[in-house]
Structure 1
Amino acid sequence: MKAPFSSHLQCMPFYSLAFLVSAGLCSCSGDRGSHETIASSQIVLSQGWEFRNALDSLWMPANVPGDAMTDLMQQGKLENPFAGTNERASQWVETQDWHYQCVFELMPHRGDSKRPLQELVFKGIDTFAEIRLNGNLQLKTDNMHRTHVLPISNNIQSPCTLEIALRSAVNSGKQIMDDLQLLIPTSNEKRPLDERTSSVTRKAKYQFGWDWGPRLTSCGIWRPVILRETRPMQSEDIQLSLVSLDAQEAIYEIKAPFDLESQNMRIEGPNGSRVHWNTTLKNEGNCLIKISNPELWWPRGMGRQPLYTLSWSGENQHLNVRFGIRKMQWNRTQDAFGTSFECVVNDIPFFAKGANIIPPDFFPARALNFEDRLIDAAIEANMNMLRIWGGGIYPSQSFLDKCDERGLVIWQDFMFACGMVRGDSAHKTNVKLEAIDQLKKMRNHACMGLFCGNNESMHAWENWGWPKAFDLHDEDSLATEQAYHTIFESILPHAIDSLTDLDYWPSSPMEDPNETRGMLSGDEHAWRVWFDTLDFDYFSGHRGRFASEYGLQSLPHRKTLNEVGITEWDDEALQFRQRSSMEWLKPGLDGWGMMQIYARRYTADPAQTVEASETDGTTALNRWIYLSQLTQAIGLQEAIERHRNSHGKIAGSLYWQLDDVWPTVSWSTVDHAGRWKLAHHAVKHANADCRVIWNRSNPTTSSMQLHNQSPKQLHNTELHVQWRNERGELEHEATKTTHLNPFESIELSFPSIPNESALVSWTWIGDDGGTIDAGHVLLTKPSEINWPNAHLKLIQNGNDLIVSTDSIAYGIRLQSDIDGRFTENGFLLLPGNENARHVQFLPTHHEGTTLGVHSARHFAQFQ
């Protein structure tokens, strides 16, 4: 078994398998890898489904994949839970049982042969279910995160009636708790302690409520049901394991449950051409393949993502394996700070830039519709890593395929968050089978970077007072800890060791248990900004070697609120969406109060009374939206820049959070409707691969770090730096010639800061005359500057906009009545036509859509 995060470096390839047959295709839907072909040897059962309340005899049309709440909405039996305060009126669904059924035909005989052996595959049942065929009980389920396979007996007569009786997860959880006679701590549910059931079920925890989401504990068939011919091997059974890699040759071991004869294999390169390779039989079921002159797969920004295809043909079966050639390593060695926590790809260390993600819609079957938008938002913000948080759901194969194709490395939590676990044998077996199921699906994707046992569970046990709150003492406390250690320090790491080449980190956040006290190690959830009111300079000095969580709340776009019936600041529907409470700091303090604390400190008081004006749009709601978004943008940009400038102390910066499950006030930078907040523009700039970052950690010196996180040589470049006063007037300037190799960072020092300087601006020019990076940094908080009442000038040409100003303008926010976004927003502009900014509008729908009615406001109008 690997120790927590093995100290040696690990290597790991990937694959994406397609199950193919020679027969014609049939239509399908649901969670499919981007290369999967559904043919006549497997049929998606997506038509003819019905559902009913177990207490009612009325059957109604249903969608599979789907769930009871979305089906009730479609039938007009339930109002949209996202609108107004409808969440409250929707929660009756969680206490009911729901029945689903459909009728299907088995696959027919082929000529004179017997009917082929067949099976039903349930990709996702949420959660507690009894499955019957033709009235006979065949299978019980109790885990939303597992695939269940039901062999069909040759005695079953066609047509078949498939019935799935879904039991209330809340009621089932209460029964489990009664049987345990022990409370299992969790913090996400706003329920009495003895009614918190999310920690005893294998259902997505966020569905029981979180501080950024509603409690809508539905049930359903959330991923496809497939009828297929039984095969000796499925795609998940094959593992590609990288043995060695250099510029001349890549060697893989192919592990399979039976012999893969080399004469039935071929490999195609990224451009479809035949690749030279050879194979050696290693032992039964395994063989080595050697690929000459491999093209390497890289994370976004570091190179390309070439993908190979290995094809294998057997009796009545054809498998395609798409894979990328790369070596993924985690460097955890001793250094001046303690023990490093650094991702290394193809022997090149890289700084991880990204965010935590939660399901992009509350209802999992609908979340698939937003995968592309989520990945686009990450790529456009110059990210190279995403953390899939442990309170949600495991990613679909199509999501991982897209991350393979676009170079997003995945930190994958197992689905445990902010709660302890049951220790009974049935639960441990359930978790083991879940781990095996998910590891086989994910292990060979190039994007997979790390498996993590849980989110904050041990941290909470040790720091949040759970033993006292849940009355767990002596034997009960020891039993709770033992259950935790069995799952996260035995079952999960053993499964990873036996099935993958990837590393495992037991919990996030966590320090290395082997590190000397006082030295830095592990990852950190840097929440003393927000939950402890510290200034943003905290991001230069917090513990840990990798910042895996931190963030600030803000409101979403006004259109997003309007779409769920919220038009005013004091709407109850807006106020009740605030779920972040900090009673330990001050009675009654919640997210509104905390946003106000940080906005007052860095921008202006959002709660300041304003008179509504139709001409300038300064309503209370608009003021809260603008100032909370601007403050969030300042904080996240400063955090990322401080992390990148840490001289190797911090090796990654993943903020909380990229997306939302519903329209709400939260820590997201892209709201539920896909509209960018100002912070996402700030993150995009802070994450740029080639970036100039002012050294904020020492305010008495003038120094900058230049980062080249790209494979490009940056020779004979020039950095032009200007120091300006509060009016934007030039006080001092300097130019330096620089040279940066690929994946290199350097620091440049300048003379002392002139006394009247309020900001520093720069332009980094390449040897071809093009701009590598341009930006600015304020030398004090925006709230401490008396900004002039600048007048902005906008010149429109189609979807192009030229913005200029007669005085320095900070925090310029552009808006349009057409859905879409601007290529830049929330920026600072210096006076004069020579400093005019060219911005493009990107409409969400229809390429021919023009900008329409637009406006621009800046910070001085809110100060």
Structure 2
Amino acid sequence: MLMLSNLRVIAQNDMSLNEGWIFREVNAGKWFKASVPGTIHTDLMRTQQIEDPFFRDRASQLLWISERNWEYKKEFFLRSNFNLNQKKYIVFDGLDTYADVYLNEQFLGRVNNMFRQWRFEAIGLKPGNNQILIRFFSPLRIADSLAKQSDVKRPCENNRHYLRKAQYHFGWDWAPQLPTCGIWKKVYLSSESASKYKEAKYADVKLIQTADSIGQNFYFTVNGQATFMKGANWVPADVFLARMTKDRYRQLLIAAKEAHFNMLRVWGGGIYEDDDFYTLCDSLGIYVWQDFMFAGAMYPGDSGFLQNVKEEAKQQILRLRKHPCIVLWCGNNEIDEAWHNWGWQKQFEISANDSIRLWKEYVTLFHEVLPDLVRQYDSGRAYISTSPLYGWGREKSMTHGDSHYWGLWWGIKPIQIMREKIPRFMSEYGMQAMPNWKSINKYSIPDDWDTASVVMKAHQKHPTGYKTLSAYIQQEKLKPNSFRAFAAATQEIQHRAIKTAVEAQLQSNGRCMGSLLWQFNDCWPVCSWSVIDYYGKKKKAYFTLQALYKDR
């Protein structure tokens, strides 16, 4: 395989290859027009082979798409005077995820990471007609195959962790199971011009983690002044990532700014966001806590996986370091906490020897490989290995480092507990709420308006979601007498919970120096912890935050 994987700035004379693609199920016969960048699901929708997966319970009927192999093809013509004396490269800014690439029926190579840019020397490129073929393999079947090859049980609720693919695509407690595939970023033909990266740019922001009389603090200074970070966790704003536009990013990020946020955490089960996201954060004065894309699982530790991740991390660090909004790199979301608190060893029947091995592999990736790359390519930014430092059931979670407190919601603790649970930096906490009524009408019909309906269950991904919401509604002595009233009551509950928590954090006399709500936004229409729903409609708690953070 002749492949150059280093990232470079696209030159002005690069030739776009985004237009003119067609697709089909592998060897299925008829070809259909494709849109690039795009995904197999959006192409199937656009060609009217499937209907909108977000309407009613359709998403649950579409898993067959993820179980099949798909291929994309493009033919393009080069004039006889096209300069082929210089080496040419076919560059894919993003392929999701496992695929073989061919040029003029010659195999160029296999890709296995949607977070990497892939560059192949265009051997066989010629004047006249040329053809690129990309054959995508089922992400579900590939993940299962890799899991079977593993010689140790690796804790995870499914086999998503074997793929370098957005983890939320396999489903989360706010996301549907729609593991798509496709050419999700730009494609172009490039010359051999030198690779150049923009230099790192830094805001005068520092992370402080030192021992104090309480335990270990965790706060940021801005221009030398300790600053309370007001914000939320950001998740991918669509299941089908190619649908994201600069305008959609702008709408959401302006809403964050108008709520007086100064920080968003890009959560590790999603994606490294598009440059448009970070450029907007730069201009709006919103700092970014950037996770690497690992969440809630024990990832492989073999040399092939590590080399893949090293190239991924290197590319992303080099791409993103030019954005001064980024103030922190974080190795993963909740893996350290899970290993020590979620009972994985018993649940997955992991032997003592395998436990030692798995933890050693964890340390290698998150305490050695990733911080070494940050030091090498972006030495002016802080790195932490995981978030949170301690699980929410441990006393130290309130006195040391950042905290994900889930006694509210998961523990069904009363809302008033948030007056007592004040950590050093609250990097996750939250309360679910239904979307706005107009939004509910977009993905359902009146026959669905009951929490026991198939459709409403499909748009609630937490296993006890409606039951937990009902418990809080009862605790707060609300008495909704209809489904619409229930939806409104959930927003009232979320408002009360967030108001109680943020007031206590702001009034803690410096004990707590940050509040990042779980979660800011949604990737599809769902009952979740977001304060802005998938359609961009603000819930009551959004305005609560806006009022609390004004002039703070």
What is the TM-score with the length of structure 2 in the denominator? 0.93
Match in the other structure for 2:138: 168
Aligned length: 537
Pairs within 5 Å for 1:201-212: 201-212=163-174
Give per-residue Cα distances to partners, 1:469-523, cap 9 Å, x unaligned.
Answer: 11211222222212211111111011001010211111111149xxx97982211
Give per-residue Cα distances to partners, 1:147-187, cap 9 Å, x unaligned.
Answer: 11112237645432111000011111111112113332113
Match in the other structure for 1:510: 389
Match in the other structure for 2:111: 141
How many Å separate the matches in 1 of 2:331 and 2:111?
23
State which drifts further: 497-506 or 529-538: 529-538
The amino acid of 2:59's aligned partner reads E
| Cα distance change on mapping 1:333 and 1:215 into 2, 3 Å | same
Q: Does residue 1:493 correspond to 2:334, yes or no?
A: no
How many Å separate the matches in 2 of 1:18 and 1:475?
46
Match in the other structure for 2:348: 470
Q: Does residue 1:197 correspond to 2:159, yes or no?
A: yes
Q: 1:551 aligns with which of 430, 448, 455?
A: 430
Give the secondary structure class of the aligned counterpart of 1:214.
Answer: strand
Q: Does residue 1:635 correspond to 2:502, yes or no?
A: no
How many Å separate the matches in 1 of 2:115 and 2:224?
34
Q: Does residue 1:650 correspond to 2:512, yes or no?
A: yes
Higher relative contact order (CA 8 A, sep 6+): 2
The amino acid of 2:230's aligned partner reads K
| Cα distance change on mapping 1:141 and 1:632 into 2, 3 Å | same
Contact 1:526/1:539 (8 A) holds in 2: no
Q: Does residue 1:153 correspond to 2:123, yes or no?
A: yes
| Cα distance change on mapping 1:182 and 1:18 into 2, 3 Å | closer
Contact 2:78/2:126 (8 A) holds in 1: no
| Cα distance change on mapping 1:685 and 1:107 into 2, 3 Å | farther
Pairs within 5 Å for 1:284-363: 326-363=203-240
How many Å separate the matches in 2 of 1:219 and 1:398?
22
| Cα distance change on mapping 1:434 and 1:19 into 2, 3 Å | closer
Q: Does residue 1:562 correspond to 2:477, yes or no?
A: no
Contact 2:422/2:508 (8 A) holds in 1: no
How many Å separate the matches in 2 of 1:363 and 1:372?
18
Q: Does residue 1:118 correspond to 2:80, yes or no?
A: no
Q: 2:250 aligns with which of 364, 372, 394?
A: 372
Contact 2:55/2:443 (8 A) holds in 1: yes
The amino acid of 2:167's aligned partner reads K
Give the secondary structure class of the aligned counterpart of 1:528.
Answer: coil
Match in the other structure for 1:64: 36
Match in the other structure for 1:102: 74
| Cα distance change on mapping 1:643 and 1:54 into 2, 3 Å | same
The Cα of 1:555 is off from its aligned counterpart by: 0.6
Pairs within 5 Å for 1:213-292: 213-234=175-196, 236=197, 238-240=198-200
Pairs within 5 Å for 1:419-818: 419-500=297-378, 501-511=380-390, 520-542=399-421, 544-567=423-446, 568-570=448-450, 571-581=453-463, 590-606=464-480, 610=481, 620-688=482-550, 690=551, 709=552
The Cα of 1:603 is off from its aligned counterpart by: 4.8
Q: 1:388 aligns with which of 248, 258, 266?
A: 266
Give the secondary structure class of the aligned counterpart of 2:546.
Answer: helix
| Cα distance change on mapping 1:106 and 1:438 into 2, 3 Å | farther
Match in the other structure for 2:4: none
How many Å separate the matches in 2 of 1:348 and 1:463?
35
Note the residue ranges of structure 2 that are not aligned, 5 or more in a row: 1-7
How many Å separate the matches in 2 of 1:114 and 1:459?
54
Match in the other structure for 2:52: 80
Contact 1:413/1:454 (8 A) holds in 2: yes
The amino acid of 1:541's aligned partner reads E
Give the secondary structure class of the aligned counterpart of 2:370.
Answer: helix
Moved over 6 A (4+): 516-519
Give the secondary structure class of the aligned counterpart of 1:239.
Answer: coil
Give per-residue Cα distances to partners, 1:308-344, cap 9 Å, x unaligned.
Answer: xxxxxxxxxxxxxxx6x73221112232222221111
Give per-residue Cα distances to partners, 1:750-780, cap 9 Å, x unaligned.
Answer: xxxxxxxxxxxxxxxxxxxxxxxxxxxxxxx
Please state which structure has a larger fraction of its residues in helix: 2
Contact 2:97/2:114 (8 A) holds in 1: yes
How many Å separate the matches in 1 of 2:258 and 2:294?
30
Q: Does residue 1:127 correspond to 2:101, yes or no?
A: no
The amino acid of 1:669's aligned partner reads V
Give the secondary structure class of the aligned counterpart of 2:532.
Answer: coil
What is the TM-score with the length of structure 1 in the denominator? 0.60
Note the residue ranges of structure 1 that are not aligned, 5 or more in a row: 1-16, 21-38, 188-195, 241-322, 582-589, 611-619, 691-708, 710-863
Contact 2:345/2:355 (8 A) holds in 1: yes
How many Å separate the matches in 2 of 1:558 and 1:206?
26
How many Å separate the matches in 2 of 1:461 and 1:436?
26
How many Å separate the matches in 2 of 1:183 and 1:517?
30
How many Å separate the matches in 2 of 1:84 and 1:354?
31
How many Å separate the matches in 2 of 1:107 and 1:605?
73
Root mean square deviation of aligned Cα: 2.1
Give the secondary structure class of the aligned counterpart of 1:650.
Answer: coil
The amino acid of 1:591's aligned partner reads G
| Cα distance change on mapping 1:463 and 1:52 into 2, 3 Å | same
The amino acid of 1:380's aligned partner reads E
State which drifts further: 493-502 or 519-528: 519-528
How many Å separate the matches in 2 of 1:55 and 1:481?
43
Match in the other structure for 1:299: none
Contact 2:531/2:539 (8 A) holds in 1: yes
How many Å separate the matches in 1 of 2:361 and 2:350?
13
Structure with larger Rg: 1
Contact 1:84/1:564 (8 A) holds in 2: yes
| Cα distance change on mapping 1:177 and 1:361 into 2, 3 Å | same
The Cα of 1:119 is off from its aligned counterpart by: 1.4
How many Å separate the matches in 2 of 1:160 and 1:603?
69
Match in the other structure for 1:42: 14
The Cα of 1:54 is off from its aligned counterpart by: 0.9
How many Å separate the matches in 2 of 1:85 and 1:429?
40
How many Å separate the matches in 1 of 2:74 and 2:81?
22
| Cα distance change on mapping 1:484 and 1:518 into 2, 3 Å | closer
Give per-residue Cα distances to partners, 1:812-855, cap 9 Å, x unaligned.
Answer: xxxxxxxxxxxxxxxxxxxxxxxxxxxxxxxxxxxxxxxxxxxx
How many Å separate the matches in 2 of 1:675 and 1:403?
21
Contact 1:133/1:161 (8 A) holds in 2: yes
Contact 1:555/1:664 (8 A) holds in 2: yes
How many Å separate the matches in 1 of 2:78 and 2:120?
14
